[in-house]
Amino acid sequence: MRILVVEDEKKVAGFIKRGLEEEEFSVQLAADGEEGLALAMNGSYDLILMDVMLPEMDGLSVIQALRRKNITTPVLCLTAKDSIDDIVSGLDSGSDDYLTKPFAFAELVSRVNALIRRNARDRGAELFYADVRLDPVSHKVWRNNKEIELTTKEYALLEYFMRNPEQGLTRTMIAEQVWDYTFDTFTNIIDVYVNYLRKKIDRGFDKKLIHTVRGVGYMLKESE
């Protein structure tokens, strides 16, 4: 497995590189955003670790540039910023996960493995529910044959709903399956993203699909 680490702090980059190589990953380093973008555009990586605060070009801009070019390599953001707004901004840029500094290396490895497994799992047959169609290969979504533009996390959330239709999904279940988080404070982010997804999937349609289940969480079902 090949991993690109875009990190301008040499000590941090060296620490990550040595640790991942001990886990038998092949690691390439980039010291600024422009170098990271060039390598990501031209190389074939299984995962990108992206620092947010980078010289030449910040990490979120690099991710946005990659997504515009339809490069779907999973990206794990590394940053010292940990407010809800910062996390949402990172995920909205097209990143797949978010890890705040300082972090335990064991947690980094866990997140890396989870993203690589998820990326491999995302290859498969199209999913259908009601008038929604989801393509796991292209990461495209349609409702009533109209394509709906979703961010990376909105897509992952919808896919989880569509793989578990008409089931009450708790915030803990969503956090663990979509974000690989297990702590309760992350539930605010889940509520934010369910609201984002609901606006895109349900707005303008008579039949609502994403429902709040009081005392449980959320459910994908056709409204009665």
Residues 79 and 10 in one domain: yes
Q: Are strands 26-30 and 2-6 parallel, antiparallel or unpaired?
A: parallel
Among the candidates 121, 140, 164, a domain finishes at: 121
169-221 confidence digits (pLDDT tens): 988 888 877 876 654 555 688 899 999 999 999 998 889 999 999 988 999 99
Whether the bond between 165 and the residue before it is cis, its omega within 30 degrees of 0, is no
Is residue 19 domain-shared with residue 93, that is, in the same domain?
yes
Domain residues for 22?
2-121
Mean pLDDT score of the chain: 87
- The better pLDDT of the pair 27, 91 is held by 27
Q: What's the structural domain count of the chain?
A: 2
Same domain, 157 and 102: no
145-166 residue pLDDT tens: 899 999 888 998 999 999 889 9
User: How many alpha carbons fall within 13 Å on the CB side of residue 67?
Assistant: 20
Q: What is the pLDDT of residues 53-65, one digit of tens each?
A: 999 999 999 999 9
Let me know whether 115 and 137 are in one domain. no
Of 101, 121, 141, the residue at which a domain comes to its end is 121
Do 147 and 204 sit in the same domain of this protein?
yes
Q: Given strand 140-143, what is the order of strands in its sheet? A: 127-129, 132-135, 140-143, 146-148
Hey, is 135 helix, strand or coil? strand
Q: Are residues 106 and 173 in the same domain?
A: no
Burial of 90 (0-12, 13-18, 19+ CB in 10 A): buried
**Same domain for 131 and 215?**
yes
Record the pTM. Answer: 0.61
Which residue would you say has higher pLDDT here, 68 or 121? 68
Same domain, 117 and 131: no
Residues 117 and 133 in one domain: no
**Does residue 175 sit in the same domain as residue 79?**
no
Q: What is the CATH number of the domain that holds 206?
A: 1.10.10.10
Lowest mean pLDDT segment, chosen from 2-11, 136-145, 210-219: 136-145
* Cα dihedral 70, 73, 76, 78 sign: negative
Helix (H/G/I), strand (E/B), else coil: 43: coil
More confident residue, 73 or 218: 218
Please give the DSSP secondary-structure letter assigned to residue 22: H
